[in-house]
C-alpha cells in the first residue's frame, strides 16, 4: 500500500506540512457566518469547520504572497533562431470573484512573440496562477497576466484569452449554469497587425 508521506528516493518518512495557526477572531468570524446562515457552529460536524475554511482561504489567496514577475526572471537566449509564436493553450485555473467570493473556474491561453529570448513554458502558467490566487474579476486577471509578460519579457506581442464560468452567476442570482465569459488582451503586434492577431487566435482555437 502506497504511503503518501514516504519518500521513495531516500526511504525517509516525510512529515505532512504543519497546519498554519488560525487566529481566533478569524475562526469566530466564520462561526458567525455559520450562525447567520441558520446552522449551529457547535454541532459535531461543524466544530472544525472554521479552522478548515480559514486554512482553505489562505490557500485560495496564496497569490498575495507571491510576485508573479519572479517567474519571468530567468530567460533563455539560445533558441536556434526561433522567432515564431510561443503558445501555452487551455491552462486550467481557479480563482474567486471579489464581489461574492464565489469560484471562478476556467482556462486560459497565453501567447507571446519573442524578440530575442524566451522563458520556460511552465512559467506562463505560474504567472497565471499567481494572479488567479487572489480575489479577482476576470477582466483584471486577463490584463494583469498580459501586462506582466509584456513588461518583463519585452516581446513583440502578447495575447491572453481567458474563458471561465462564475459561481456568482451559476450558483446564485440568475442561476444560469453552462454560460462562459470570454475576455482577451492583445498587445504589440497582436493588437496592431490584423493577420498576426488572426493567427494567434486560430492557434488558440478561437
Residue ranges of the annotated binding site are: 97, 100, 168
Give the H/E segment covering residue 185.
strand 181-188
Which residues fall within 8 angstroms of residue 86, CB to CB, at 6 or more apart? Answer: 111, 112, 113, 114, 118, 121
Q: What is the DSSP letter of 182?
A: E
CA pair distance 145, 159, nearest whole angstrom: 10
- Residue 150, all three cell numbers: 509584456
Reading the block at residue 70, the C-alpha cell is 519572479
- Residue (of 149, 144, 154, 151) closest to 183 by Cα position: 144
Which residues contribute to the annotated binding site for Zn(2+)?
Answer: 97, 100, 168
> 76 in the Ramachandran plot: left (φ > 0), alpha (ψ -120 to 50) or beta?
beta
Q: What CA–CA distance (Å, rounded) separates 95 from 87? A: 22
Residue found under cell 460536524? 45
> CA quadruple 68, 70, 71, 76: dihedral positive or negative?
positive
Amino acid at each position: 500500500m502506497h504511503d503518501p508521506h514516504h519518500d521513495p528516493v531516500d526511504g525517509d518518512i516525510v512529515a505532512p506540512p504543519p497546519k498554519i495557526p488560525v487566529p481566533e477572531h478569524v475562526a469566530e468570524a466564520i462561526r458567525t457566518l455559520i450562525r447567520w446562515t441558520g446552522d449551529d457552529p457547535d454541532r459535531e460536524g461543524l466544530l472544525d469547520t472554521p479552522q478548515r475554511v480559514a486554512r482553505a482561504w489562505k490557500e485560495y489567496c496564496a497569490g498575495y504572497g507571491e510576485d508573479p514577475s519572479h517567474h519571468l526572471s530567468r530567460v533563455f537566449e539560445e533558441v536556434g533562431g526561433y522567432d515564431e509564436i510561443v503558445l501555452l493553450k487551455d491552462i486550467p485555473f481557479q480563482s474567486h470573484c471579489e464581489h461574492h467570493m464565489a469560484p471562478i473556474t476556467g482556462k486560459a491561453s497565453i501567447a507571446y512573440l519573442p524578440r530575442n529570448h524566451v522563458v520556460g513554458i511552465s512559467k506562463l502558467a505560474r504567472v497565471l496562477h499567481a494572479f488567479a490566487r487572489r480575489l479577482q474579476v476576470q477582466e483584471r486577471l486577463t490584463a494583469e497576466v498580459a501586462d506582466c509578460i509584456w513588461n518583463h519579457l519585452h516581446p513583440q506581442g502578447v495575447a491572453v484569452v481567458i474563458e471561465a464560468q462564475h459561481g456568482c452567476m451559476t450558483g446564485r442570482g440568475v442561476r444560469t449554469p453552462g454560460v462562459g465569459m470570454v475576455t482577451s488582451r492583445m498587445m504589440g503586434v497582436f493588437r496592431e497587425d490584423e493577420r498576426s492577431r488572426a493567427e494567434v487566435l486560430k492557434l488558440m482555437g478561437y
